[in-house]
Chains A and B, each alone.
Chain A
Amino acid sequence: MNTVAFAFTGVSIAIVSGSLFAPFYKYKLVRIVLTIFRSIHEIFWAFIFLPVFGLNSVTGIFAIAVPYSAIFAKRFYEIYQSTDLRACNELPRNSSPVLRFLFGALPLLYEEMREFSSYRVECAIRSSAVLGFIGLPTLGFHLESFFNEGKYSQAFAILLLFYVIIGTKKYWLRRKLVPVYFLTSIIFVWGNTHVVWANIVRFFTYDIIPWPMRRDGFINNTKQILWRPSETIDWFFTLLRGEVLPGARDTLILTQITFLLSGVFAILFIGLIVRKINKPLSRKFNRILLLVLRSTPEYIIAYIAIQLWGPSMVPGIVALVLHNSAVVTILTIRNADSLVLPLDVAKGKINCFFFHILPQIYSSFLGNLFYRWEVMVRESSILGVLGIYTLGFYIDSAISDDRMDKVIFLIMFMSIINIVIDSVSNKVRSVLLE
């Protein structure tokens, strides 16, 4: 219940603030800030908010709302850009811009915005479930507890419940019911909010200041902050050498292995579910399997894999590859199914697949794979929390040492990597789609 409530409240806040930011998305500064927000995974946001708000609903909601606001702002802006708005020019010139927007533009944009929001609710439910792993009271919390104690049947039941919630989304997510859900979610999480202003202030003005600047004040207990440039630079470089670079290296290795294998597996999966060369029954079966893989957060797959094999790169790779290749397959399969093949095409599935189908979908397939690239980086670093030595591992260690200065520094660095990868993948995709 908490899972859905967090997701709903988070998304609702994100829609509102996303819409507020969307008109300003064309300004560079806003864009940069929002890109940074977007590039930090929900779990890391939760890590940041945890010491600020404590273990309560606010942490969960904000961890979802902040990155999602940035996502909504970007997407709404894109929708606005790509919609033909000539109709609203017909409105009276002297009416206020707000009114013109509400009566002119909104109805045109509404359908697409609604569709995207509904899709994001599903994503938010997944994120919210994963937040349970770090201690918020969502499905992931119970899943982890049951797994830890070897109660596999209960763990499986929780997983099943999760699939039911996601799978039946189109039956319960109705327009008329949205206000009902929204209100109940708010009421539901309200009882569990408790924010101490002093903690927030302390976090932003003290905890995240680099240690060398806090050191003297800490030792003589005055909590004074002193300006120590050379020591602070030393501190940065020690961090960079000791944690950031090895973490970044492992993150990128994991990402690249995942990237390649996801490609290979996605091709295999496409071959198994493309309409032209598979029997309807086996196609259906494989398709359901893929949908399950797609809707299971990779964090949960990785968690289960690590329970089985212990923490190393392998379970991380398995989790990321399974999830991402399923996503790429499902994104690409529509193209593959719409192909028209000649009637004198040779018998034999493999021939047909490699000669007729694959070459024709290859560029859209690569486009989708590159689209997931940035997601893979973000997820690779997240898996560090589970004990694989990626950036997330060092962030988790810093959290566990209560060194928020380090946490912020590492997260910032990770965000830069994500932004770089994101822009590279956008470039590659625009070339591919030409």
Chain B
Amino acid sequence: MSSTLSHLNLKNFTFSYPQAENPVLTNINLTFKDGESVALIGPSGAGKSTLLNHLKRKTPQSSMIHQEYLLVPQLSVFHNIFMGRLDKNRTIYNLINLIYPLRKERANVQRTARLLDMDKFIDVQCRKLSGGEQQRVAVSRALYRDSSLCFADEPVSAMDPENGEKTISLLTTGRTTIASMHNTELALKYFDRIVALKNGGIHFDLKPLDVDAGELKELYSE
């Protein structure tokens, strides 16, 4: 397991998009521990998503919750969650489930969906769901994938507070989680470690208890 995480170590990491003038991230140094939950905070444009996408690309086995959900709107909630484990099954088995969901898989998916109260929507097309519900499907897909490493880009941005808290508590237990968080309150409450990004660099990297209000204010100030 530590081998996967050592993959993620960043040393003087700089990243720029092709044809862009300035790098999005400069001289980032980060290492992650097994089972740790890390919240990335900072103003928009700080490079949180870029960092997450970069880390995700290095670990194909991990799961990822995208900011834009990236669900397949035409397919049902079942199919979208089921997609989390496509690589665990044989292709032909997947296709059968695409056309006719088998009872066993339905039960598995149902179990995961229940965690976020999505089991009642299991046969609904995703495009018919509200934004918050869609985000819950995206989280369920990542949970269903059952990977020991999970990346999440603003995983609760569209949810009501209750579901948001439930989601974060699910994500931060039993796996290594690296998530960008808009909601600092939730971040401080549930995560083991807070990494603040600003202008493409690390502003601070502290335990939640060591983060004080002044520093947060400075982080989000212009």
Q: Are A and B co-members of a single complex?
A: yes
**A347 with B87: in contact, given A340-B68, A341-B70, A359-B75 (CB under 8 Å)?**
yes
Looking across the interface, which residue of chain B has its beta carbon closest to that of A362? B74
Interface of B is mostly: helix
Looking across the interface, which residue of chain A has its beta carbon closest to that of B147? A344
* Inter-chain contact A342/B70, CB cutoff 8 Å: yes
**Contacting residues, chain B, for A360 (C-beta < 8 A):** 72-74
**A351 with B91: in contact, given A346-B86, A359-B75 (CB under 8 Å)?**
yes
- Could you tell me how many residues of chain A have their Cβ less than 8 Å away from some Cβ of chain B? 18
Q: How far is the CA of A340 from the CA of B66 in the complex (A)?
A: 11
**A344 with B56: in contact, given A350-B95, A351-B87, A355-B98 (CB under 8 Å)?**
yes
**Contacting residues, chain B, for A348 (C-beta < 8 A):** 86-87, 91
Using C-beta atoms within 8 Å of the partner chain, give the interface range for chain B.
20 to 34
Q: Which of A345, A354, A355, A363 has the most CB of B within 10 A?
A: A355
**A355 with B79: in contact, given A348-B87, A350-B91 (CB under 8 Å)?**
yes
**Contacting residues, chain A, for B62 (C-beta < 8 A):** 344
Q: How far is the CA of A332 from the CA of B81 in the complex (A)?
A: 26
Query: Taking the nearest CB of chain B, how far is it from the CB of A270, in angstroms?
Result: 15
Check B53 for interface membership: any CB of A closer than 8 A.
yes
* Inter-chain contact B74/A355, CB cutoff 8 Å: no
**Contacting residues, chain A, for B70 (C-beta < 8 A):** 340-342
User: Of the candidates B56, B60, B63, B86, which one forms a contact with A355 in the assembled complex, judged by CB atoms under 8 Å apart?
Assistant: B86
**Contacting residues, chain B, for A355 (C-beta < 8 A):** 72, 75, 79, 83, 86, 94, 98
Looking across the interface, which residue of chain B has its beta carbon closest to that of A363? B74
Tell me the total A-B contact number using a CB cutoff of 8 A.
55
**Contacting residues, chain A, for B94 (C-beta < 8 A):** 351, 354-355
Check A343 for interface membership: any CB of B closer than 8 A.
yes
Interface residues as binary, A288-300 with B (CB distance below 8 Å gives 1, 0 otherwise): 0000000000000
Instruction: Give the residues from 50 to 90 in chain B that come closer than 8 angstroms, CB to CB, to chain A.
Output: 53, 56-57, 60, 62-64, 66, 68, 70, 72-75, 79, 83-87
Check A356 for interface membership: any CB of B closer than 8 A.
yes
Interface residues as binary, B181-201 with A (CB distance below 8 Å gives 1, 0 otherwise): 000000000000000000000
User: Of the candidates B72, B73, B74, B145, which one forms a contact with A344 in the assembled complex, judged by CB atoms under 8 Å apart?
Assistant: B145
**Contacting residues, chain B, for A362 (C-beta < 8 A):** 74
Q: How far is the CA of A135 from the CA of B128 in the complex (A)?
A: 57
**Contacting residues, chain A, for B85 (C-beta < 8 A):** 346
Q: How far is the CA of A346 from the CA of B97 in the complex (A)?
A: 15
Instruction: Give the residues from 324 to 353 in chain A that come closer than 8 angstroms, CB to CB, to chain B.
Output: 340-348, 350-351
**Contacting residues, chain A, for B75 (C-beta < 8 A):** 355, 359
Q: How far is the CA of A360 from the CA of B74 in the complex (A)?
A: 6
Query: Taking the nearest CB of chain A, how far is it from the CB of B96, in angstroms?
Result: 11
Check B142 for interface membership: any CB of A closer than 8 A.
yes
Looking across the interface, which residue of chain A has its beta carbon closest to that of B142? A344
**A344 with B63: in contact, given A355-B75, A360-B74 (CB under 8 Å)?**
yes
Query: Taking the nearest CB of chain A, how far is it from the CB of B48, in angstroms?
Result: 15
* Inter-chain contact A344/B91, CB cutoff 8 Å: no
Looking across the interface, which residue of chain A has its beta carbon closest to that of B86? A346
Q: How far is the CA of A346 from the CA of B74 in the complex (A)?
A: 18
* Inter-chain contact B72/A359, CB cutoff 8 Å: yes
Q: How far is the CA of A360 from the CA of B127 in the complex (A)?
A: 11
Interface of A toward B, CB cutoff 8 Å? 340-348, 350-351, 354-356, 359-360, 362-363
22 of the cross-chain contacts (CB-CB < 8 Å) are A340-B70, A342-B64, A343-B56, A343-B57, A343-B64, A344-B56, A344-B142, A347-B87, A348-B91, A350-B95, A351-B87, A351-B91, A354-B94, A354-B95, A355-B75, A355-B79, A355-B86, A356-B83, A359-B74, A359-B79, A360-B73, A363-B74
Interface of B toward A, CB cutoff 8 Å? 53, 56-57, 60, 62-64, 66, 68, 70, 72-75, 79, 83-87, 91, 94-95, 98, 142, 145
A343-B57, A360-B73, A362-B74 provided; 20 other pairs, C-beta below 8 A? A340-B70, A341-B70, A342-B66, A343-B56, A344-B56, A344-B62, A344-B84, A347-B60, A348-B91, A350-B91, A351-B87, A351-B94, A354-B98, A355-B75, A355-B94, A355-B98, A359-B72, A359-B74, A359-B79, A363-B74
8 nearest interchain CB pairs? A346-B86, A342-B70, A346-B87, A344-B64, A359-B74, A351-B86, A359-B72, A359-B75
